[in-house]
Structure 1
């Protein structure tokens, strides 16, 4: 085999332009600011940049990526937010991700979770956070294909149910299992498949690994899941509470409360409990 020498004239004519162009493309890719959603392992993070360099973000911790990008983009456009912060960073993690150190260190400026979870990990959370607003009530559904879910042993005899591998999850474990038990439907261990996060749960449903999963309101759309049937499990379920760090200026509280509430108020399956906040 003949070796093509780098000092050969054809090397500079044919190869060098390609190498130079490739180098420019790599440099552009490495230096271009990343302003879109970043998917990292088992959780989602979205960053909306107001200005660079980013050194003072408003950090938000939620339970779901539902409307996370809309919330961040909305806050990024608010003048009051722009005067105080240089970016909005929203991280979505499971309910049991929250730890005492997150509360004590005020690692997040806004936190959405169930109050019993918050008090369980940090009983004295009120030293560091205040209640900003209650999350909306929501509806919970069974998602299924081919036929709507029936709470009967005959219907579930050949079905596989997907749930979160979190026995304390109200929406994705407790509520569905309670409804089955109350109806006298008992599934064996092979019929219940547990998944570590919502993304893998919805993927299992889309690919047919399971026949049925629970879904909170319209969150299934976040994971590109369009079932044939949605069957109601329960209504007026409490979603959680928003906490605001005491490091966040009080003059921003109303703006933040109204923004986190407004995104879900007009969506099917969600009903906001608190009245809009009015600045004195």
Structure 2
């Protein structure tokens, strides 16, 4: 195989990637790992997929997001929007260096959210989006912050009510109250949840921004997270179910199935799979 690894500069960092060329093809696929993953994917599923796609005539690019894998950057500063920017930069490299004119995005887990985000920014060059085990989108920034403030307020109300409860004080004196657990809960809410939520929440409403996208979507996962939303927006899509498969499609057989479904779907000029069918 003529695949090779390389790196390219992006926003003061260096991104690591591996390209699997399909000579003579002007169509490419950008493969995107999950939130904390690398360009290899669990059980090297992204490697196997990229090779299969290259053999099917699609120049394929696997990339490590900034702060992940072999790319430089601070892991604690990774955000969903930053990952989308990285994906867009990877697609531009394919166009510039490999002569790719049309792109498909293939993402696993949070990488699938990134794929949709990138498609919403580049509808002119995007033909398809393939989402493996996509996560439900968090609300965009304003909604997420409003909900967090409300939940934190409710949590403090709960513990203040406990503080005024004589029975709670009785348990405290007798050593029956889980004080340490309560403190951990409040500290986590204060120090961890908000920052983590902010990093995983886009500043944009990505699903709304997909209004400009007119390509195809293939979803392969264990639950139809937002099929109804896609139907309302008129986005052509198909959902495939792989019986018994967990989130990352572990085992050789599940890996083979998810790759075969993806390659067959991308090779077909029009939809040939039935919506919401079971993957064979």
TM-score scaled to structure 1, two decimals? 0.31
Q: Greater RCO between the two (CA within 8 Å, min separation 6)?
A: 1
Higher helix share: 2
Q: Which has the higher strand share?
A: 1
TM-score by length of 2: 0.31
